[in-house]
């Protein structure tokens, strides 16, 4: 009985079939892991709830429950029923590799192909699942091993280490100070196009000239000497240094 099982396993090993148990995270599973990673960050390391995941994956809570059971079976997440989830070491590794690929491809699309930063998300959403370590590393070299993507988001290195950079929201900067734009907290085309229209881009120098008492909107001076108006809603989503 048990001897039979061992024989059978040996046979599988011989034929290299055991690999399947190791490899194999589907497109869908990768997306869940990536989203769990990002929501955990946002929650300051706290568990992510089923409903949060359902909302962001555009599916129903029931479907999320199914997937969580499956990911837990594969030891990619820590899952206690009704208590939400966090990633295991292994799950985190996969999530970081997907994020690395996503952001490297975004750099490629903007720097090499000339896309605007508002046009690249959906394409990168597909490219992030291309499975080839050699490709990722060669792409990284080709792009000059960038540390940040076109939105200012950090690109993890091949071991999963994130470059860090102190930054704060423009909305928190006091009057008269001069800062540099280093990132955005919202990636919607509408928001990015709004920034384009106001000539605010990654690397722009921003001097805060005036802050309205009434609505906390800003008037700022850019490096091109243009003075532009920035609503508080926008200022809250701009990262500066």
Partner DNA sequence: ACTATTTTTTAGGTTTGTCTAAAAATTTGA
Partner DNA sequence: TCAAATTTTTAGACAAACCTAAAAAATAGT
Binding residues (CB under 7 A) for DNA: these are: 26-29, 49-52, 57-70, 79, 81-82, 84
142 binds a copy of itself per the rule CB under 8 A:
yes
- By CB under 8 A, which span of 1-9, 130-138, 170-178, 190-198 interacts with a copy of itself? 130-138
Report yes or no: 216 and 171 within 8 Å, Cβ to Cβ.
Answer: yes
Residues ≥6 apart with Cβ < 8 Å to 101: 127, 128, 129, 130, 136
Q: Helix crossing, 133-142 with 89-107: angle to 10°?
A: 40
> What, of DNA, a copy of itself, Mn ion, none, does residue 149 touch, CB below 5 to 8 Å by kind?
Mn ion
- Smallest distance from the beta carbon of 22 to DNA, in angstroms? 14
Binding mask 16-55 for Mn ion (x = CB under 5 A): ---------------x------------------------
Exposed/middle/buried for residue 213 (C-beta within 10 Å: 0-12, 13-18, 19+)? exposed
Report yes or no: 223 and 205 within 8 Å, Cβ to Cβ.
Answer: yes
- Smallest distance from the beta carbon of 215 to DNA, in angstroms? 29
118 binds Mn ion per the rule CB under 5 A:
no
- By CB under 5 A, which span of 54-62, 80-88, 133-141, 151-159 interacts with Mn ion? 151-159
- Closer Cβ to DNA, 52 or 106, answer by number: 52
- CA dist 98 and 94 (Å) reads 6
Binding mask 100-119 for a copy of itself (x = CB under 8 A): ---------x--xxxx---x
- Smallest distance from the beta carbon of 18 to Mn ion, in angstroms? 26
Binding mask 175-214 for a copy of itself (x = CB under 8 A): ----------------------------------------
Instruction: Spell out the SS3 assignment of 125-151.
Output: HHHCCCCCHHHHHHHHHHCCCCCECCC
- Smallest distance from the beta carbon of 217 to Mn ion, in angstroms? 26
Report yes or no: 221 and 209 within 8 Å, Cβ to Cβ.
Answer: yes
- CA dist 93 and 12 (Å) reads 27
**Paired residues of 240 in beta bridges:** 168, 181
Position among 10, 55, 73, 125 found at the interface with Mn ion (CB under 5 A): 125
Report yes or no: 104 and 155 within 8 Å, Cβ to Cβ.
Answer: yes
């Amino acid at each position: 009985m048990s001897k039979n099982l061992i024989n059978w396993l040996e046979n599988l090993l011989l034929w290299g079939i055991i690999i399947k148990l190791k490899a194999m995270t589907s497109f869908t599973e990768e997306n869940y892991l990536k989203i769990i990673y990002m929501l955990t960050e946002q929650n300051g390391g706290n568990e992510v709830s089923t409903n949060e995941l359902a909302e962001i994956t555009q599916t129903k809570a029931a479907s999320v429950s199914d997937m969580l059971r499956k990911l837990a079976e594969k030891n990619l997440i820590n899952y206690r029923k009704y208590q939400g989830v966090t990633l295991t070491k292994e799950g985190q590794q996969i999530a970081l590799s997907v994020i690395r690929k996503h952001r490297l491809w975004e750099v490629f699309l903007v720097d090499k192909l000339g896309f605007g930063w508002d046009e690249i998300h959906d394409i990168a959403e597909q490219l992030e699942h291309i499975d080839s370590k050699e490709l990722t590393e060669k792409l990284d070299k080709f792009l000059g091993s960038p540390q940040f993507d076109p939105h200012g988001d950090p690109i993890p290195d091949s071991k999963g280490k994130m470059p860090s950079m102190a930054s704060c929201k423009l909305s928190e900067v006091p009057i008269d100070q001069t800062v540099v734009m280093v990132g955005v907290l919202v990636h919607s085309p509408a928001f990015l196009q709004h920034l384009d229209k106001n000539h605010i881009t990654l690397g722009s120098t921003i001097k805060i000239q005036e802050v309205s008492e009434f609505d906390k909107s800003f008037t700022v001076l850019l490096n091109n000497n243009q003075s532009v108006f920035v609503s508080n809603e926008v200022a809250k989503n701009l990262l500066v240094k």
